[in-house]
Amino acid sequence: MYRGWFRPGPVPPGGVEADEGEGETRDYICGHYRIFQYERGHRYSTDDVLTAWYGTLCAPRVERFADLGSGIGSVAIIAAWRLPAARVVTVEAQEQSIRLARKSVRYNGLEDRFTLIHSDLRDFHSAEPFDLVLGSPPYFPPGSATEAGHSQAVPARIEIRGSIADYAQTAARILARGGVFVFVFPTLQSSRAEDALRDAGLMLLRRRDVVFKEGEPSRISLFAAAPIGDVPPRDPFVESPLTIRRGDGSIHPEYAVIRMSFGFPPGDVPA
């Protein structure tokens, strides 16, 4: 219990410990589920959480979903918690990250639902299509942004193994009829995202900008797209921005209930 809020969902079997020698931590991510991550490496973020939330919100029906460039598994684990009957395939090229993802999947008792593929997403093909494809791609071309200090975090920020265009091409290749591709990308680079969708034969269905604090500009946007031909031609539905925090720093009421929807404390209750 947390200030009158009870943590929902199944209790994982556990039995997997963090490796202190590698500087790992084991942290709550949704409900009772926990995730292993490096203390100084790539750690899951609001971007990942919102991608999983928006994807499970936008997809009409999900039996199978894929997470491209899945990193430590944060997006996939949250989506799996929200879609308890769905089977999951993750694709990740970096050994350091997929090793942590395997530990998290085992800790949370998800091994019978997850297939973790150690591969470059640009090479990924699947005989069985997916109802939902998720992605939290890197945001910056090489040389356009400062690299992270930890080697494992660099590909999460810099386009080392593919850009949003590669994510879109792979998503278009593996989506089922009527399937949805959902991803996050910087608001200021939204034209890159829209070009990538168009070039891959995907139609933008809806978009929602995210404001981290009232009065500030949007920094990231959530996108949902479907294969052209699977839906009637239409202009995308642009939703009102989602605000994370009010001007005084407190959690915005809408984001408080979104947090509860993926099994996390609302954050807006008094001490």
Residue spans of the domains in the chain: they are 20-261
pLDDT band at 164 (very low <50, low <70, confident <90, very high): very high
The domain made up of 20-261 is a member of CATH 3.40.920.10: no
Inter-CA distances, 129 with 5, 55, 62, 229, Å: 38, 16, 11, 16
Q: How many C-alpha atoms does 185 have within 13 Å on its Cβ side? A: 27
* pTM to 2 decimal places: 0.94
**Dist. CA 155–CA 179, nearest whole Å:** 27
- Catalogue the E-assigned strands of the chain: 24-30, 33-38, 64-68, 87-92, 114-118, 130-135, 175-186, 202-213, 220-227, 237-238, 242-245
**Dist. CA 40–CA 61, nearest whole Å:** 37
Inter-CA distances, 33 with 16, 45, 103, 231, 248, Å: 12, 16, 12, 35, 31
**DSSP per-residue codes, 27-78:** EEEETTEEEEEESSS----HHHHHHHHHHHHH-S--SEEEEET-TTSHHHHH
pLDDT band at 158 (very low <50, low <70, confident <90, very high): low
List, for residues 81-100, the tens digit of each pLDDT value.
Answer: 999 999 999 999 999 999 99
Inter-CA distances, 98 with 26, 91, 177, 207, Å: 15, 9, 29, 29
List, for residues 9-53, the tens digit of each pLDDT value.
Answer: 999 999 999 887 779 999 999 999 999 999 988 899 999 999 999
